[in-house]
Amino acid sequence: MKNLDFYKILDDELQQIILTRLDAKLIARLKQDQQKKSFALLVWFLSFYSDISLVDQYITEGNQDSSCDIMLDLVDSQGIKTFYVVQSKWNTESNCTGELDSIEVKSFLSDFQTVIRGERSTSNNSKFNARYKVLASHIRKNGAVKAIFLCLKNRCKTTADNIQSTKNALGGSIDIECFDIHRIKTDYISKVFKGAIPPNPLNSIYSPEYEKIRLSVARDDSASRKSDFSSGTL
């Protein structure tokens, strides 16, 4: 499937979200069609990958959001909380076959560093302020954070070094991923047409080969059984 064909499918789904899922007060505030589509893309992203329907508390998109359109905290199967910071870039149909501008990615990385380092001052965006306060507390505890740049263009190949450099500079449990239209299209085909479950970017993936699993095993000292088990780490 070509990018243009997929864009038209996705655009229809975004329009349905605008008509059926966005609050009337929000619609009134979002005057331009591109604003509505951009917000709908955030709703679609959370719903498609994580089946999250109550999204309002997580979406901070708006003036002075510091490139943080979504600030979402989730606890994985190992009981580890990760904060996901998502910047979404919606674009028109005529641009869906092009490549993302490197300036946009670098701007996002710069804003993300400011947020992670706790250098972002209070803004007029109340939703951002509330979520940022929770994120800042999470970071002070060395919590895991993942940044996702979501766009409806092809990723910019020249910014791979910038992304890696930012990860190295921030250190700790910080991850950054660029999510372009090709990746979204591939996942959509897998889920909708093939019935497969694509990798969820809003979830930590663990490999049993490299993860230590702690098991508590009962000790039996009865005379009839000479088994002797003790707790250990596999």
The predicted pLDDT at position 185 comes to 96
Q: How confident is the model at residue 208 (pLDDT cuts 50, 70, 90)?
A: very low
The predicted pLDDT at position 138 comes to 92
pLDDT in tens, 144-192: 999 999 999 998 889 999 999 999 998 878 999 988 999 999 999 999 9
pTM: 0.79
The predicted pLDDT at position 153 comes to 93
66-75, 111-120, 213-222: least confident range: 213-222
pLDDT in tens, 26-77: 777 777 888 888 888 988 998 999 888 777 777 877 665 556 788 888 888 7
pLDDT in tens, 13-24: 999 998 888 777
SS (H, E, C) the chain: CCHHHHHHHHHHHHHHHHHHCCCHHHHHHCCCHHHHHHHHHHHHHHHHHHCCCCCCCCECCCCCCCCCCEEEEEECCCCCEEEEEEEEECCCHHHCCCECCHHHHHHHHHHHHHHHCCCCCCCCCHHHHHHHHHHHHHHHCCCEEEEEEEECCECCHHHHHHHHHHHHHHCCCEEEEEECHHHHHHHHHHHHHCCCCCCCCCCCCCCCCCCCCEECCCCCCCCCCCCCCCCEEC
